[in-house]
Amino acid sequence: MTSSTRRALLAMIHAARRALALDDESYRALLERLTGKRSCSDMTYQELQLVVDHFRVQGAIEQRAGAHFPGGSGEFDNRPTSAQMGTIERLASAAGYASLDDSRFTRFLLRTAQVDSIRFLHRARASRVISGLVQVTRWRGRSRRITSEGGSTP
């Protein structure tokens, strides 16, 4: 984690603390309950992100579409990148799904990424979905070729 990413997380946590008007003892008790540590300076990136996520659920941190950490390489909350989402849309269409809301695509998501909606994907699972869609597209392409050549469908 870069120092600018860490500073951005710390800034969000401290702004949320002020927004919720938490006194020092309540704030430190919350940190300890969430991470087992009473100070953000002792926390790892994952622990800081957990605190940010908690404050976001509480409404103390605004959810901003397309927001980026300064100097970071990706979007908030480990969401799929726009390139990943575009690839998923193109491959889903090539694989024969009507849309990302298609019930067959939803079942595919559940099998491949263990999520029941595209909005619950994170980057690693988006990569799994892309790999799975590539395989489905290849398989369906082979099936169409075999069928059009007069052979049997596997």
Average pLDDT over residues 138-142: 74
Cα distance between residue 148 and residue 23, in whole Å: 71
Cα distance between residue 9 and residue 16, in whole Å: 11
Residue that wins the pLDDT comparison between 72 and 87:
87
The per-residue pLDDT for 65 is 46
The per-residue pLDDT for 32 is 94
**Least confidently predicted of 14-18, 43-47, 95-99, 139-143:** 139-143
User: What does the domain layout of the chain look like in residue ranges?
Assistant: 3-66, 82-148
The per-residue pLDDT for 63 is 63
The per-residue pLDDT for 154 is 47
Whether the pLDDT of residue 104 is over 60: the answer is yes
**Contact, 12 vs 61, CB < 8 A?**
yes
Whether the pLDDT of residue 84 is over 90: the answer is no
